[in-house]
Structure 1
């Protein structure tokens, strides 16, 4: 069996300009844990997950610093803090989504799909052909195929 045989083709998607609230409502209403983000040409540009939404609401800790000669010297990287802050104030999907999406092609076998999910620690794999979103394989789809 291949990805094209087990993937769901009735896919819920959002655009990068959709609001975070719209994406969260879709996930809750459809009882799904992640939504592919596609542009107007049906190109996969990202994915937004429950983890992204929950991460938006976690406590943000500013980087450590010391005062030295009347100035501030940061003892930790500020990059992570500013990334967390950017996500905290996100209102559009494009500001919260992951743009590094793990995907498989339609010809990927079950073993490749299972291995990829395990190694990359993902719960769903968009199926992409020629840059276009064709479907999505979830863990549930994979389990059904294995039965």
Structure 2
């Protein structure tokens, strides 16, 4: 008799557990139906299949696609064309004055044909101006030549690194990051065509980011954008 009673209790517990599971499933189904109803009320069309739902769900990568497109913008649309240059026969005192007045760290040096023959950066100027504070034991032939020079061509860096007009934003950024340049001269057939700076690149990327990747390829930038 006790065994029959125990068996009946076990059967009742199993039935009760089964009913609980069934009720939980019913509640889950109702919850899903309510969620679908809410989506339908918002006017969103539901896909016919799970595959369609996955296809209709936007992937995180899509909103970053325009960043990749930024990499292939040509620098001819971003560079500064109206460049402040130094003639190769400019006296050093005028070069010093130019560095003191303008906020640039480098200046291209050109000849009378506007051919790029070199650059002068602020490190060279500082080295010349402070040469008297450097111990003679640390003087190099180059610093001695520069200290005795009287013109821009005497102190400039010859054969500067340049980038062509058809280079991309990615090309320019890679070059600047590799050599830690703030500005790079843009050349066309050996002549100075303009200057591209890190600030130019940052401004263009930020502008496109605000517009969500839409808009034009950008226009010509002013001198302030090429500040280095």
Q: What TM-score range do you get, normalising by the shorter chain?
A: 0.7 to 0.9
SS of 1:62 mapped into structure 2? helix
Aligned residue for 1:32?
A: 104
Among 8, 13, 18, the alignment partner of 2:90 is 18
Aligned residue for 2:137?
A: 62
Aligned residue for 1:125?
A: 184
- More strand by proportion, 1 or 2? 1
Cα distance between partner residues in 2 of 1:5 and 1:130: 18
Contact 1:127 1:137 in 2 (8 A): yes
Structure 2 counterparts to residues 1-147 of structure 1, below 5 A: 1-56=73-128, 57-58=130-131, 59-62=134-137, 81-147=140-206
Cα distance between partner residues in 2 of 1:123 and 1:90: 26
- Mind listing any 5+ residue stretches in structure 1 that lack a counterpart? 64-79
TM-score by length of 1: 0.82
TM-score by length of 2: 0.54
Structure 1 residues 89 and 107: CA distance shift in structure 2, 3 A: same
Cα distance between partner residues in 1 of 2:183 and 2:116: 14
The total of aligned residue pairs comes to: 131
Q: Which has the larger radius of gyration?
A: 2
* CA deviation profile, 1:86-133 (whole Å, cap 9, x unmatched): 112222111111013111011111111011011122211110011111
Provide the alpha-carbon RMSD of the alignment.
Answer: 1.5
Structure 1 residue 60, shift from structure 2 partner: 4.5
Structure 1 residue 39, shift from structure 2 partner: 0.4
Contact 1:14 1:35 in 2 (8 A): yes
Aligned residue for 1:75?
A: none
Cα distance between partner residues in 1 of 2:203 and 2:117: 28
SS of 1:104 mapped into structure 2? strand
- More helix by proportion, 1 or 2? 2
- Mind listing any 5+ residue stretches in structure 2 that lack a counterpart? 1-72, 207-228
